Structure 1
């Protein structure tokens, strides 16, 4: 009886597999779709059953199907139906499975993307199919063109009674393509620049405009700007063989705040330069028995404040480890500079130190979010979900534009992946935020 009990407990700790019948089916390229592929799985030796040849159903999705070279793409590998079922009548508890795997890249860019899933699963009844699971990872686009993504090998690690692994490999690699993304070349930096002969002038005055790095031979429009709107004051010049421009613009509009120069039929920040600050001096005579009133709006600074400096992540069990979660204290960013520059808020973390061991900085991940206060000229963008680490990651940002500024609130959900059997005690690391 004692040996039988030990045998049952061993099976409880194993991700033992049973065959799920089915054949491999290819999925059409160009859109994310479920694919089936033959899988060879090796159960833990303690399970006492031979290797399993079954079928896995999976789907690959990405957060950006049209990236540019240099962009980071987040990949999700979802195993809809593992090639396995619980072969025993013993129920398995929730949250004992930690999956990991590979996504195979093909086409314009080749290689493997490592993906990892959270330690999370529903309870599995005796003899019932194993639940599906999702894994995520990232890769950097290095080549323009169509890049295919196919599911690769995966492993199910279990933390119940024993620490066990069940590796499952693609029987006839590569598996069918589940997703295709189309990468475009990296955007070339816009180095166009202009300067003015004067920063002020009376209504109707002509201001000299010179510039560089425009497309040789291109027609370039010089235009006045009143905030983010173009005024009626325009002129055209032609860039010489070296991309330089030289011309003048008569400025009549008293609301003018700057002057821009651009190629094409309308303003495009990728093909233009400016605005260069310009103010029209209102020399209108003051009538008798009247008073002329003026005021000045001063530019402020880029600053941030945070709601607190301590975050207590949730506790995890010694024998299981897993996700220790919490929320970053909200960070308020105020861009009161009154210009065209954008900003970026990044964070990096140290290793977590505790009683005799260290939890690596690369085990902390976050899911950023950012809200823009109503009326702000800019709109903030949350950074990508993923690892923070010692090298850092972006929490939030706002791009440069013709007019920028505003008030923003950034935060993030935090998750520290604590290894099983990490010695009990308190562990701490320092997350440093930098606004630039």
Structure 2
């Protein structure tokens, strides 16, 4: 766990296409829908009815739950007309609108555009506009995005709002979200690391769902041996079992739920050695060496993480690093590991907050020479309160080693965030 700190100082479009592949020349995701645009009362104009041509795009079509997605709503044709009796100069039209979410996640996204338009003659249609906004993915599955109503504000001579409404608009964009990987906290401990054939080993397994049937079994590398017992996890998720170890091939003990061991539902192996009790031939002596199992652990360089300052008004990216994390895996057996992180909101004086989802990282991971496992850094992107993978190693017949993990982090500070120090807590979990 670490504390992070940051400081602030239109062309006409073609008609709508049927679902499927767009016709030649048609922009993917472009849709048309009937619209009524109510002119401001001050203009003395009747409502304008016609079709809007629009398109919605997203910056990430395959986000994870907890990610922030940026959406853009482009209106290339509108029935709304210039509400002023004279021409409008450039850069006086400000658009706002709504995007409708459905499918795995429902709701609305508010989008806003900048004052950026070409001059508009008297009585002419208002120009194309583009609006952007963001939303946080809260559910896994397909999410559809459809255009909603929009408002075109003009600020020449007087402030006027032309409000455009629509109903039953078609889907313009889709994205498919996936869930974050969850940490596997299942573990297994042995009262003894070796014994003669037939010895009963007292096994403690933890981190299982209460009431779950758990199998405790012997392992020889990646294969399961004949040694096996079944027990039930108590209300704390703990299993106490007595495992007779009779198979001389057994080199470790695992615990798992379900029909077979898996990385998601099983514990990493605890090493165990069967010491053969058969007497040696005359004139010989038996030599036995036991490799005791180690642990999976990590250390982090430093304590607090200080991000670079950003100027008040401009906002921008506050850069930094999480500090080197050293992971040592000396367990033996086939189970890899995963290092995940999550961050709280950044809080400043007066309770002002910068969302934790504004913190992104670019992880890196290096395995020391001789380590059996390769190390894979997590994907670059937001960390947030729901977390993200920093680094991991895969399951394999032989795993373990020493690993150096780090990440460059960037906090996006909004413009005009009140000056002061903002702190959050970054929690790393190794499993």
Q: Same fold judged by TM-score > 0.5?
A: yes
User: 1:373 is paired with a residue of what secondary structure?
Assistant: strand
Question: CA contact under 8 A between 1:330 and 1:411: conserved in structure 2?
Answer: yes
Tell me what 1:198 maps to: 192
Query: Partners in 2 of 1:247 and 1:21 — Cα distance?
Result: 73
Tell me what 1:435 maps to: 428
Question: CA contact under 8 A between 2:66 and 2:137: conserved in structure 1?
Answer: yes
Shift of the 43–427 alpha-carbon distance from structure 1 to 2, 3 Å rule, reads farther
Q: Which has the higher contact order (CA 8 A, sep 6+)?
A: 2
Tell me what 1:411 maps to: 408
Tell me what 1:328 maps to: 319
- Consecutive unaligned residues in structure 1, runs of 5 or more: 1-17, 317-322
User: 1:222 is paired with a residue of what secondary structure?
Assistant: strand
Query: Partners in 2 of 1:152 and 1:271 — Cα distance?
Result: 44
Query: Partners in 2 of 1:37 and 1:406 — Cα distance?
Result: 54
Tell me what 1:224 maps to: 219
Tell me what 2:139 maps to: 141
Please, which of 262, 269, 275 is the counterpart of residue 275 of structure 1?
269
Query: Partners in 2 of 1:58 and 1:90 — Cα distance?
Result: 26
Shift of the 432–116 alpha-carbon distance from structure 1 to 2, 3 Å rule, reads farther
Query: Partners in 2 of 1:176 and 1:329 — Cα distance?
Result: 40
Q: Does 1:260 align with 2:260?
A: no
Tell me what 1:381 maps to: 378
Shift of the 92–105 alpha-carbon distance from structure 1 to 2, 3 Å rule, reads same
Tell me what 2:4 maps to: none
Counterparts of 1:22-37 in structure 2, within 5 Å, are 23-25=15-17, 27-28=19-20, 34-37=29-32
Question: CA contact under 8 A between 2:57 and 2:72: conserved in structure 1?
Answer: yes
Shift of the 168–348 alpha-carbon distance from structure 1 to 2, 3 Å rule, reads farther
- Consecutive unaligned residues in structure 2, runs of 5 or more: 1-9, 22-26, 121-125
Query: Partners in 1 of 2:161 and 2:356 — Cα distance?
Result: 22
Tell me what 2:5 maps to: none
Question: CA contact under 8 A between 1:190 and 1:271: conserved in structure 2?
Answer: yes
Q: Does 1:311 align with 2:278?
A: no
Tell me what 1:367 maps to: 360
Question: CA contact under 8 A between 1:206 and 1:248: conserved in structure 2?
Answer: yes
Shift of the 277–60 alpha-carbon distance from structure 1 to 2, 3 Å rule, reads farther
Query: Partners in 2 of 1:263 and 1:191 — Cα distance?
Result: 13
Shift of the 251–45 alpha-carbon distance from structure 1 to 2, 3 Å rule, reads farther
1:260 deviates by: 2.0
Query: Partners in 2 of 1:24 and 1:295 — Cα distance?
Result: 70
Shift of the 302–140 alpha-carbon distance from structure 1 to 2, 3 Å rule, reads same
Please, which of 101, 106, 109 is the counterpart of residue 104 of structure 1?
101
Q: Does 1:345 align with 2:341?
A: yes
Question: CA contact under 8 A between 1:222 and 1:237: conserved in structure 2?
Answer: yes
Query: Partners in 1 of 2:158 and 2:378 — Cα distance?
Result: 40
TM score, norm. by length of structure 2? 0.60
**Count of residues in Structure 1 that have an aligned counterpart in Structure 2:** 377
1:372 deviates by: 2.0
Question: CA contact under 8 A between 2:319 and 2:410: conserved in structure 1?
Answer: yes
Shift of the 280–20 alpha-carbon distance from structure 1 to 2, 3 Å rule, reads same
User: 1:140 is paired with a residue of what secondary structure?
Assistant: coil
Query: Partners in 2 of 1:207 and 1:366 — Cα distance?
Result: 51
Question: CA contact under 8 A between 1:152 and 1:175: conserved in structure 2?
Answer: no
Query: Partners in 2 of 1:433 and 1:326 — Cα distance?
Result: 18
1:345 deviates by: 2.9
Query: Partners in 1 of 2:312 and 2:137 — Cα distance?
Result: 31
1:105 deviates by: 0.9
1:347 deviates by: 2.8
Query: Partners in 2 of 1:352 and 1:161 — Cα distance?
Result: 39
Residues 91-132 of structure 1: CA deviation (Å, up to 9, x unaligned) = 439xx96866333214xx563143557x779x6443595354
User: 1:328 is paired with a residue of what secondary structure?
Assistant: strand
Query: Partners in 2 of 1:172 and 1:431 — Cα distance?
Result: 42
TM score, norm. by length of structure 1? 0.60
User: 1:273 is paired with a residue of what secondary structure?
Assistant: coil
